[in-house]
Amino acid sequence: MITELEKLAEQVGLRLIDRGEMLATAESCTGGWVAQSLTAIAGSSAWFDRGFVTYSNAAKVDMLGVPETTLARQGAVSEATARAMAQGALVHSRAHWALAITGIAGPTGGTIDKPVGTVCFAWAMREGGCEAQTGHFPGDRAAVRALSVRHALTGLLARLQDASCMA
């Protein structure tokens, strides 16, 4: 049975195939769930290059080149970190597009400024810009993570359909 997330992943894949492009992911709080949804689609090797699961700050620095100063000043859950993750995924891959997710899925870890359910996203295009946004998702850990994966894929699909928004 194909899930809603796999249906979104399939649509992303079809759009990438049409464009002759590839995708890389950089995930923290979702722990590779986006990559799992993408690779659940038969033939995804034609358009999915690689996924980075960078749960710790050290992994973000080591694998994606996120500046330690960004993490110190903005925090791991910030649009600046999400942008750096997406851009790092492009640098360390052959992909044309990258998406990044970093957030607080809970049940602990939230603060007044960044409560549980706060998730930052970035979508980057090798030949274009990098766009970031912050979402706030309700529910328990599983719900926050699932909603984050859906938001990331939906956001990428919208950007693939209108790449001019990234220019």
Q: Which of 78, 81, 22 is nearest to 51 (CA)?
A: 22
Domain ranges in the chain?
A: 4-166
For a pLDDT cut of 70, what percent of the chain falls above it? 96
Rounded Cα–Cα distance for residues 167 and 130 (Å) = 9
What amino acid occupies position 16? L
Q: What is the pLDDT of residue 2?
A: 67
Model pTM score: 0.95
Residues 6 and 152 sit within 8 Å (Cβ to Cβ)? no
Q: Is the pLDDT of residue 166 over 60?
A: no
User: In the CATH scheme, what is the code of domain 4-166?
Assistant: 3.90.950.20
User: What pLDDT, in 10s, does the model give residues 43-91?
Assistant: 999 999 999 999 999 999 999 999 999 999 999 999 999 999 999 999 9
